[in-house]
Copies of this chain bind each other. A is one copy, B any other.
Amino acid sequence: MSLKNKILIFCEGKKWLIDKKREEFATHFGNIKITEKERKGKGEYKLVNGKKFYFFLPTIEEFLLKIKRKTQIIYPKDISIMLFYADIKEKDKIIEAGTGSGSLLISLATRAKKGKVITIEKREDFQKIAIENIENYFGKIPKNIEFVIGDVYDENFKLNVEENWADKIFLDLPEPWKAIKILNYLKTGGILVNYNPQILQIKRFVEEIKKLNFIDIKVMEILERRWIVDEKRARPEDLMRGHTGFIMMARKVKNEK
């Protein structure tokens, strides 16, 4: 599973992600013709108008920062933490509501290779973009992803799986407390992750799941601070991303509290 048909071009701090098969690419520094050798992405470079253009295979982080989006994406820093803290495993069965632009979905699908990710989205236009991004990343829709159109806020919403099916559930919803019923699909012992830019939405959701059988509830935010370091300087960058979202995690247990 990889970005096999993409190549990353790097020049003076700028990055472009393009289809490998393209033979020419226009930048404001000039037009670049891509040779067979460069297409391998092994760090070759080409001089164009005095500028060095380097050719790489993109990382998943580089890919995610370039995906097509209609919604706010979840940033790589937050995805990193959610994947690791939720301990996504090869055979994990995962439910994600909602799909959004698919940045978290791509990441989950690369990990749960022999498992399954059911991703639910209400809006078909969002799902369409996510599918496009998924195809762009994997070449096709991988077998471990199942797309569902549906409204998880709806009392009657149902999935084609048993209760207690999922090892992990990820929520990225404006009003997650309306989707409490989906948590029935989570195994006891399973892990719930809820992502939201607003602390008040986090609080309201925490209040709700505290009434249910969830414990070890943690809320955190992750700040990534970039530094400028070179021969003469060592200092943080002037501007930083001050906020993306809050991450909430919890464990489902047996007793009804």
Residues in A lying within 8 Å of B, measured CB to CB: 2, 10, 13, 40-45, 52, 54, 56-57, 59-61, 76-77, 79-81, 83-87, 89, 107, 187-191, 197-200, 202-203, 206-207, 210, 213, 215-231, 233-243, 246, 248, 251-255
Q: Are A189 and B57 in contact (CB under 8 A)?
A: yes
Max chain B C-beta neighbours (<10 A), residue from A52, A56, A230: A56
Closest 5 CB pairs of A and B: A240-B242, A236-B243, A43-B188, A80-B84, A59-B87
Chain B contacts for A77, CB-based, 8 A: 81, 222
Q: A43-B213, A43-B252, A203-B229 are in contact. List 7 more A-B contacts (CB 8 A).
A: A43-B189, A59-B191, A81-B224, A199-B229, A200-B200, A222-B225, A239-B239
A52-B255, A206-B230, A238-B243 known; A225-B216 Cβ under 8 A: no
- Is the Cβ of B43 less than 8 Å from the Cβ of A59? no
Tell me, in angstroms, the Cα distance from A180 to B229 when the chains sit together. Answer: 18
Query: How many copies of this chain sit in the oligomeric assembly?
Result: 4
Known: A189-B43, A200-B234. A59 touches B80 (CB 8 A): no
Give the distance in Å from the alpha carbon of A202 to the alpha carbon of B248 in the complex: 22
A252 neighbours in B (Cβ, 8 Å): 43
Selected contact of A42 from candidates B206, B221, B229, B254, CB within 8 Å: B254
Contacts of A242 in B (CB 8 A): 225-226, 236-240, 242
Chain B residues positioned under 8 Å from A190 (CB to CB): 43
By a CB distance below 8 angstroms, the chain B residues around A222 are: 77, 222-225
* CB closest residue in chain B, given A214: B43
* Closest B residue to A10 using CB positions: B216
Q: How far is the CB of A165 from chain B (nearest CB, A)?
A: 14
Given contacts A44-B254, A77-B222, A84-B83, contact A231 B207 (CB under 8 A): yes
Give every chain B residue within 8 A of A44 (Cβ-Cβ): 188, 253-254
B residues in contact with A229, CB < 8 Å:
199, 202-203, 206, 217, 219, 248
Collect the chain B residues with CB atoms within 8 Å of residue A235's CB.
197-199, 243
Residue of B nearest to A199 (CB): B234
